[in-house]
């Protein structure tokens, strides 16, 4: 705008000079110069076009000028394998524990459990739980004394025989050969009735040599718990021939022989057996870890391998049992006197 004003003033001065001199001064106008025309039209000049137009819009676009790094946000990552807490139900402390007479609950003796189970507990007395008897045990020899007064190669063998463990190590006294497998010897200090639970109408017999020794007998049958006199026809033969263990030294010998029910000779029972596991089936229908263990228990070997169930084995538990006059061997499975002698007049002892 200032330049255009100067040009107009120049033209005005030239006009005055022309009038004073009486001549016409023609201004030289640059054809490319469109200032005058631009002024006449009121159009903006080139400089005006280049000038920024104030539109009233603020120049602050709201963009922050601080280009520094943003403050990091702490992200808490939960543990990948964090276990889920379980709801623990705590039983009442003073709640009474019922004795379950079923095959999988609590028990007081083996009679409360099934045929393939035993009453397991940490001590000889008191309640326990019915657990399955092991079908096979390791060969390691770590002797224990069972609550039945017998020495076992390890705790597994004791459990397989249905016996609780009394102490570590071998028992102090030998086992009475004439007593059943689960009955402790007379001088062991263990009551034969420690793990026996009888019904209300029966009682446990703790008289050594009695037909019902170590078992329950009807209270009405007093002869079942009376020790019989030795049969006069049987001669003691601690080193001679025999038909059953009763013909030998009850504590240190057994009637050894081939097969079951045949004539044999009284032989010393082994006092120590190796840990080799080579199972055999004894003539009493029980499975032993090897033949030495069977002989130490006063039992002949019927066959190699484990026994089938006693009922199906074809082996009579009375094969090596010889009873006195007036007595019979009980061969009724399930009876308290199964495999033992009972008074023939007391039929209930074998029921």
168, 200, 225 - which closes a domain: 225
Q: Which of 225, 255, 274 is the last residue of a domain?
A: 225
Q: How confident is the model at residue 130 (pLDDT cuts 50, 70, 90)?
A: very high
What CATH number did the domain enclosing 210 receive? 3.30.60.30
Residue with tokens 């379950």: 100
CA 173, CA 184: separation in Å to the nearest integer? 10
Same domain? For 157 and 188 the reply is yes
Among candidate residues 185, 201, 225, the one where a domain is terminated: 225
Does 291 map to a domain? yes
Q: Give the global pTM.
A: 0.30
Per-residue pLDDT of 19-63, as tens digits, reads 655 555 555 555 555 544 444 455 555 555 445 555 555 555 555
- Name the residue with higher pLDDT: 69 or 263: 263
Q: Is 346 a member of any domain?
A: no
Mean pLDDT of 94-108: 55
**Residue 119: what pLDDT?**
93
Residue 146 and residue 163 in contact, taking contact as beta carbons nearer than 8 Å: yes
- 253 and 313 inside one domain: yes
- Regarding whether 206 and 180 lie in a shared domain, the answer is yes
What pairing do the DSSP bridges indicate for beta strands 117-120 and 202-204? unpaired
103 has a pLDDT exceeding 90: no
151 sits in which H/E element: strand 151-152
Same structural domain for residues 140 and 213? Answer: yes
pLDDT at 107: 92
Task: Give the tokens for residue 116.
Answer: 């393939």
Work out the average pLDDT over 128-151: 80
Backbone dihedral region of 317: left (phi > 0), alpha (psi from -120 to 50 degrees) or beta?
alpha
DSSP string, 27-53: PP--TT--HHHHHHHT---HHHHHSPP
Please check whether residues 203 and 285 belong to one and the same domain: no
pLDDT 10s digits, 279-298 = 888 888 788 888 888 888 88
* Counted domains in the chain: 2
Q: Is residue 331 part of a domain?
A: no
CB-CB contact of 168 with 151 (8 Å) = no
308 assigned to some structural domain: yes
220 and 252 belong to one structural domain? no
Question: Can you give the residue range of the structural domain that contains 168?
Answer: 135-225
Do residues 219 and 246 share a domain? no
DSSP per position, 254-317: EEE-SSSSS-EEEEEPPS--------EEETTS-EESSHHHHHHTT--EEEES----TTTS---T
Helix (H) or strand (E) holding 217: strand 216-218
């Amino acid at each position: 705008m200032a330049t255009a004003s100067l040009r107009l003033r120049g033209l005005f001065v030239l006009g005055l000079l022309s009038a004073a001199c009486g001549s016409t001064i023609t201004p030289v106008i640059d054809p490319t110069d469109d200032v005058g025309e631009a002024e006449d039209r009121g159009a903006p000049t080139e400089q005006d076009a280049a000038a920024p137009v104030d539109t009233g819009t603020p120049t602050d676009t709201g963009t922050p000028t601080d280009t520094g790094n943003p403050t990091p946000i702490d992200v808490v990552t939960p543990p990948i394998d964090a276990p889920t807490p379980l709801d623990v139900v705590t039983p009442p402390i003073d709640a009474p524990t019922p004795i379950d007479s079923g095959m999988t609950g609590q028990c007081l003796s083996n009679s409360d459990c099934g045929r393939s189970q035993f009453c397991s507990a940490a001590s000889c007395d008191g309640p326990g739980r019915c657990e399955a008897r092991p079908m096979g045990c390791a060969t390691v020899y770590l002797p224990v004394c069972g609550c039945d007064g017998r020495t076992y190669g390890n705790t597994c063998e004791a459990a397989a025989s249905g016996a609780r463990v009394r102490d570590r190590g071998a028992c102090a006294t030998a086992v009475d050969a004439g007593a059943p497998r689960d009955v402790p010897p007379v001088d062991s200090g263990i009551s034969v009735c420690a793990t026996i639970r009888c019904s209300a109408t029966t009682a446990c017999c703790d008289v050594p040599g009695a037909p019902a020794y170590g078992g329950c007998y009807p209270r009405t049958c007093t002869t079942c718990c009376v020790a019989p006199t030795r049969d006069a026809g049987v001669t003691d033969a601690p080193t001679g021939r025999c038909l059953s263990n009763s013909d030998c030294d009850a504590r240190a010998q057994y009637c050894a022989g081939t097969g079951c029910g045949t004539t044999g000779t009284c032989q010393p029972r082994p006092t120590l057996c190796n840990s080799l596991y080579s199972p055999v089936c004894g003539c009493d229908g029980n499975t032993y870890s090897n033949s030495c263990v069977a002989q130490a228990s006063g039992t002949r070997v019927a066959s190699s391998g484990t026994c089938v169930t006693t009922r199906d084995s074809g082996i009579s538990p009375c094969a090596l049992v010889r009873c006195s006059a007036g007595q019979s061997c009980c061969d009724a499975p399930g009876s308290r006197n199964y495999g033992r002698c009972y008074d023939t007049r007391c039929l209930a002892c074998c029921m």
